[in-house]
Amino acid sequence: MDLFGGLIHGFSVALTPTNLLFGFLGAVIGTIIGILPGLGPLGTMALLLSLTYGFDPTAGMILFAGIYFGAMYGGSTTSILLNIPGEAASVITVIEGYQMARRGRAGAALAVAAIGSFVAGTISLIGLSFLAPTLATAALKFGPSEYLAVALVGLVIMSRLTGGNLLKSMMMIALGLALGTVGMETVAGYMRYTFDQPLLAQGIDFLPVAMGLFGISEVLVTAEEPAGNVQLQKVRFWELWPTLVEWKRSFVPIIRGSFIGFFVGLIPGPSPVISTMVSYSVERKLDKHGEFGKGAIEGVAGPEAANNAAVGGAYVPLMALGIPFTPAMAVVMAVLLIHGINPGPLLMSEKPDLFWGVIASMYIGNLMLVIFNLPLVGFFARIIRTPLYLLMPIVLLLCLVGVYSVNNSILDIWLMTGFGLLGYLLRRLKYDLAPLVLALVLGPMMERSFREAMMISRGDLSVFMTRPISGMILLAGVLVLLVPILIAWVRRLISRKS
């Protein structure tokens, strides 16, 4: 199936009433959680993961794509109107967006953010439509060495890009990999770290870990925050249209942000957040009006486009290689794994309905989201008034029932509670959760690839370097790890001499 044939087939799948409904639900939930501070797209997807067990996998994937894109749209609303970022990727929008609102240009900022997000989302989806099938075809040539190299380098890059302490990130990777070895080993059926508990034989399930680390810990952290009064700024429909000058100033930043976002999305790490930072700093450097910090529309248009485009980019490695580069993509991958589908290069040929249906649904979802975030912006903004004393218990209820519903196992609730506490402690101690979760997901695949590579090469460890693709990927990983350390060392040396 070629690209256009695939997309037409995808639209025929995405436009069925059920899939349209799931796309709509995803967009609504995504917009709401994007607006609500404290509950991000990752936590929401983690807590809804168990519910997708009862759905068709395509519908589950469509729901999650809607949530992820919707959160990026919704996050800008509260950033602009209230000076409160709804989720991490909208933090940058607060700087210029709220200043615009204070100058009476809230409507224009919201419109530019929504339309910029739509343009960026569409550009990134075109990129995803072209790049994912090409990469999937290329990946058919990948052997175990290449898969191990991609996963290893992905983890290394992630630990570098999360911006935290490198050693702490590495320790989280090691912990995640260690957790991934719990359970029955697949080749010889050997029980590892199960402590004679039959329920641990199938390993530590991703679901309670993700729900605990992201869902429960988010509730625990939010519980500590002091409740504040929210003052909403009113925006009338006719105020939403930006002036011609504002349009002109926004156009290029939107296009620039779209490309920045898409390419940052391809890299392991919290791509929506990083892309907004990169886009903002680029726009600031190119600023000709001297308005940055006082409400520059470029500072809203670029970052808002970038965070949406990053979502499309992040789907590429998952859909093409079956390797998630962000925790959110790991949760999306879990939707497939719950249904016994292994994502990878064969997904496009073996499950064309799912592959193309999800991509096509993203185009439709993007269109729905523009409607939610322009004419209905006032309605959605009011959601921020939902009291925490109702919202948080409901989130906990969904976690407690959801995690039990998959395996009907009390052990899963205990695991979720334990990982919730661990997630809370890790957040408070400034550890990044993303490397742990990704390592847990990638660990079993890495072990399988390592063992297969060793058996094929008859124990020759140099196989990882001598095979051209894996050698190149590993070299890139070594450079990413060592170059910043070397640069810092040389700088210190120079400053000491001077």
Residues that bind other proteins (CB under 8 A): 51, 54, 165, 167-168, 170-171, 173-175, 177-178, 181, 185, 187-188, 190, 192-193, 216, 219-220, 223-227, 387-390, 392-394, 396-397, 400-401, 404-405, 408, 410, 413-414, 417, 420-421, 424-425, 428-430, 443, 447, 450-451, 454-455, 458-459, 461
Dihedral (CA of 303, 308, 313, 318) sign = positive
Distance of CA 390 to the CA centre of its chain: 27
Cβ at position 54, least distance to other proteins in Å: 6
Cβ at position 237, least distance to other proteins in Å: 34
Question: Which residue number, 410 or 475, has a Cβ lying nearer to other proteins?
Answer: 410
Sort residue 162 into left (φ over 0), alpha (ψ -120 to 50) or beta. Answer: alpha
Radius of gyration of the chain (CA): 23
Q: Which two tokens stand for residue 348?
A: 């496009």
Residues facing residue 207 across a β-bridge: none
Question: Which residue number, 4 or 190, has a Cβ lying nearer to other proteins?
Answer: 190
Cβ at position 219, least distance to other proteins in Å: 7
Tell me the longest C-alpha to C-alpha distance in the chain. Answer: 71
Cβ at position 368, least distance to other proteins in Å: 24
Please tell me the distance from the alpha carbon of residue 181 to that of residue 191, in angstroms, as a whole number: 10
Question: Which residue number, 125 or 384, has a Cβ lying nearer to other proteins?
Answer: 384
Residue 69's SS3 state is helix
Cβ at position 430, least distance to other proteins in Å: 7
Question: Which residue number, 135 or 392, has a Cβ lying nearer to other proteins?
Answer: 392
Closest CA to 180 of 192, 171, 190: 192
Question: Which residue number, 171 or 481, has a Cβ lying nearer to other proteins?
Answer: 171
Residue 183's SS3 state is strand
Cβ at position 414, least distance to other proteins in Å: 6
Cβ at position 408, least distance to other proteins in Å: 6
Distances, alpha carbon 120 to alpha carbons 168, 271, 294, 465, in Å: 34, 14, 25, 38
| Residue 124 CB neighbours (<10 A) | 31
Cβ at position 86, least distance to other proteins in Å: 19
Please tell me the distance from the alpha carbon of residue 186 to that of residue 184, in angstroms, as a whole number: 6
Closest CA to 29 of 20, 18, 40: 40
Whether 127 and 261 have beta carbons less than 8 Å apart is answered as no
Q: Which two tokens stand for residue 419?
A: 């990982």
The values of phi and psi at residue 191, to 5°, are: -85, 125
Cβ at position 41, least distance to other proteins in Å: 22
Q: Where are the alpha helices (DSSP H) in 286-409?
A: 298-321, 327-338, 347-350, 352-373, 377-381, 388-407
Closest CA to 206 of 419, 429, 51: 419
Cβ at position 128, least distance to other proteins in Å: 32
Name residue 254's amino acid. I
Question: Which residue number, 135 or 398, has a Cβ lying nearer to other proteins?
Answer: 398
Question: Which residue number, 121 or 154, has a Cβ lying nearer to other proteins?
Answer: 154
